[in-house]
Structure 1
């Protein structure tokens, strides 16, 4: 096998997308002792990636060797695998990148009179010559995957690839606050991050000044393990993952079990439905961790997995409790308005959206009879409603809608029969002639909002509610770039967004269906959810934005509904084209026949 072919095969594991190249070049710059790094991306890195640093630089001999596979490896013996202290150690990344791109490397050591320039196309050296270079190294990668068409076709949209590349820059910046890092996309500045003294300051520079009040520094030593970094208090959470970071000896890693244990600490406040921000740095003896278990070096194995997991969770719990000031507190009591009530305020019906007068795609205006669409929908599925066979004495006591008044008799309550009951503030139950029907209230509202949003997007003037006071929202760099790309779709949904300088946007209008009080958070939640959906096939971009909006604007599980609200929800649901499934295909309605119910008691 030729060296060129071997490098191409290695590139398939090491270089998967532009972000992979950015990661390897940043690792090299940091290993070189750089205190200033500049990253430039053209077309999200598909056309050009340039990383320039002021590190130690390379001699002419080292410069020629740096593109030879394993020539720069830090591993000289098997024992060296047990004590890896640098980010790069295999010596194969540069050769792999060079084999699938046009690469130029300029480098000069501090004190040398002149530097050198090396040009390689597809692994073949084209030029090696003296050149005027600033001390340090500049690597430029053009036309990535130009000679691997299949890999080039698998690259995603510019927005997705840019997001992935910026996440890599973000991770390196978090891990090395002492390094000045700049990043440009298509010539426009994305990050300008001066060197700072703390992880908190670097997190604020990356994610916005609004983070600062909710950030808690972490610094604990537990035996041979030191845990540093920053976590958020339970008020700073999102409904999607993405802002959780682990580092081992400042190497970014993915570790599902560690993630589980840290999220478990927050669970009393989040109920497992929302995700806090944290960046945790584990420092330990290199001999206690194996970093050579994944081609991209994203996974590690600890010599004592359970101890590490327990210690990290213990440190997070201790730090969180100390910051909140009540170590023996009841988390549910602390929640107050930030917890259940806060979520209800963000996502309750509001604006009369379920009390009539609206419309839902596929069904036109609502029927004058609030039960008509529900009955029609059940009939289409082979069921019909059976009204009023149980009264408040059973329904309210069992389902928790209202406590029966003292002195009321069962007979008196039976005379006040109704059609729907709420179960655990999550499901709506109704009798049918053939049995029982149960509807997930959250998924039902998701379907309604999605259909409305898609109908609205076809109008010349989408329905929008203008805010009395426009909201200025500071976004992360990747979120700001995503807003720029999604601006046409957001406008069609009813958002009014103006781009400002410094990664900020002004939100002056939101979809008409959005409940009052959720205006400031909805844009961020839509962006986060869109990223979760971006890999899904079979949806247009406008559909993904509509789903992202519906997911976060829908009434939450845990919201107490009145009878009128339940009737309106059912009527609007069965006016939709597909009332049986939410936009992502999840089942909304579950039916049980009398035979099914009887079988449980046989």
Structure 2
């Protein structure tokens, strides 16, 4: 055995280990260098890459620049201008702070830095290889900094071996660039790859304008602005209408105090805000900015600073959830919505009384998605064998009509936001907002399942089952939260026979069935006695409705028991679905008008509880083009 087995690593080896933590791939280096530019006060940042970032990464900015001494010192490990003491870690106000990025990148590349302060006559150029400074000289350049990183990981072949294809690495760089650009709309950004321009983003006047620059006008036209400010936490940004959804969660962007993060609390809050609005397995688009006191969030929990820890995660979740959920509750107000959004890294200081919240206006428009039919398969139970009249009336009894809504001119077929004037469109011809259905002309019913309405913009088709299901679901949920689903007694008790193999599980879920509005009692080992059914449906079809609900339980009582509020919402979906009018049911004109009026008084009316669209629209121009007019 050797006498000494513990030793100090050479500086170069330690730097390469640190580089492995901070610089996972070329995209990590790009992110760190851009964040340094932003911390230096840059108003314009350009990025150039070759070979997926392995051959070259060049980041230039017009920031504050450095002196010769600072430029040399910045390449040493733990060198930083952003913190002075351990106490500074409790309230970090810059994107970078760890003092590892430049040194780590330099240790695994050939690095050349050119930098100049505006007050200096000349700039300074520093060249380093594998972390060792090889040369320093003066240079002529504009104020700012340019850093070139060549042959990244040239001296760490193991890391180089695990890089993906050039296209994949370039895509990761573009995604990191995209996130930073979205969070800093007042900064101009440019990204070129192998001589081809990927992004060329001038300074934007609003978050929505930057969103449109980065992700295109179509999705931008379908975003709703939200803003909820509570003591210590503010959540603001953009959220897609409920008729837009995506196969993955890659369209969700989350930022805390201007820093792009991947946080489970924030993602879960956004996803749950869309619960019952988009199909299961689909994901929304959202751009979320959370601003809070710096001392209430720990950003020093990951070497790449992509994760955070909240002092009160529950409060943050609550604010984000309600900010988006409340905005989605009524998507008719989307013609002109203004809110105050500041996405800078220091925006959290706006929560302090002494800070001026200088923010830009953010104007959004929302629309009905042209491809909203993508989620229709999520609720196949809505279709049934055609039945001209069905077994029971709709039982839609409208409340007193909202007279104010009907005092507006009939030409205003769409409900506009009373706070705004004309809409500022995300495109030249923005899609129409969600309409006030009851104010549109009823053309009739198609295929005994779809209600046809005429609008100023074209033809609207409403799925009667999806519409009635949403109305019923919201009524049931409101009753449940107000103390319990109301029950209407049967004229005479009705026995309901159970499958003997499943009877014990059903008997074990009697309390849940009663909570859903069914007044039931055991009546022998394989029979229930039904004495009342949910009042919203009436007692006529109560036995069939109860049977359908039992069939929806699954293989055991876990289909009903456990899961808290989320489980009850799933049961409410089933109850609303089984109790709603089906496709194949011919409706009288009075029933159609009653359904439309109820729908207009319902929150989240654009989608059924399973996420399927309530309506689709065929634009007038689309129809006329089909006839070549």
| Structure-2-length-normalised TM-score | 0.53
- Pairwise CA distance, 1:271: 2.8
Instruction: State the partner residue of 1:310.
Output: 318
Instruction: State the partner residue of 1:508.
Output: none
Instruction: State the partner residue of 1:31.
Output: 39
Instruction: State the partner residue of 1:275.
Output: 283
Instruction: State the partner residue of 1:284.
Output: 292
Structure 2 residue 385 is matched with structure 1 residue 402 = yes
CA distance in 2, matches of 1:267, 1:36: 40
Matched length? 357
Instruction: State the partner residue of 2:229.
Output: 221
Instruction: State the partner residue of 1:395.
Output: none
CA distance in 2, matches of 1:232, 1:405: 38
Per the alignment, in what secondary structure is the counterpart of residue 44 of structure 1? helix
Instruction: State the partner residue of 1:251.
Output: 259
Contact residue 234 and residue 319 of structure 2 kept, 8 A: no
- Pairwise CA distance, 1:75: 3.1
Q: 2:56 aligns with which of 36, 48, 54?
A: 48
Instruction: Give CA-to-partner distance per residue, 1:541-567, whole Å, 9 cap, x none.
Output: xxxxxxxxxxxxxxxxx9x9xxxxxxx
Contact residue 265 and residue 313 of structure 2 kept, 8 A: no
Instruction: State the partner residue of 2:87.
Output: 79
Structure 2 residue 177 is matched with structure 1 residue 169 = yes
CA distance in 2, matches of 1:258, 1:268: 18
Q: 1:240 aligns with which of 243, 248, 251?
A: 248
**Any unmatched runs of 5+ in structure 1?**
327-334, 349-397, 408-557, 561-602
1:116–1:347: structure 2 CA closer, same or farther, 3 Å change rule?
Answer: farther
1:145–1:340: structure 2 CA closer, same or farther, 3 Å change rule?
Answer: closer
Contact residue 243 and residue 372 of structure 2 kept, 8 A: no
Instruction: State the partner residue of 2:30.
Output: 22
Contact residue 8 and residue 96 of structure 1 kept, 8 A: yes
**Any unmatched runs of 5+ in structure 2?**
1-8, 335-366, 391-576, 583-629
Instruction: Give CA-to-partner distance per residue, 1:229-251, whole Å, 9 cap, x none.
Output: 21111122211221101100110
Per the alignment, in what secondary structure is the counterpart of residue 269 of structure 1? coil
- Pairwise CA distance, 1:220: 2.6
Counterparts of 1:90-105 in structure 2 under 5 Å? 90-105=98-113
Per the alignment, in what secondary structure is the counterpart of residue 293 of structure 1? coil
Instruction: State the partner residue of 1:260.
Output: 268
| Structure-1-length-normalised TM-score | 0.56
1:309–1:346: structure 2 CA closer, same or farther, 3 Å change rule?
Answer: closer
1:341–1:299: structure 2 CA closer, same or farther, 3 Å change rule?
Answer: closer
Counterparts of 1:561-576 in structure 2 under 5 Å? none
Higher helix share: 1
Instruction: Give CA-to-partner distance per residue, 1:50-90, whole Å, 9 cap, x none.
Output: 00000000011110011011121533322211010000001
The structure with the largest alpha-carbon Rg is 2
CA distance in 1, matches of 2:164, 2:368: 43
Contact residue 73 and residue 90 of structure 1 kept, 8 A: no
Instruction: State the partner residue of 2:138.
Output: 130
1:343–1:119: structure 2 CA closer, same or farther, 3 Å change rule?
Answer: same
Contact residue 119 and residue 125 of structure 1 kept, 8 A: yes
CA distance in 2, matches of 1:192, 1:339: 29
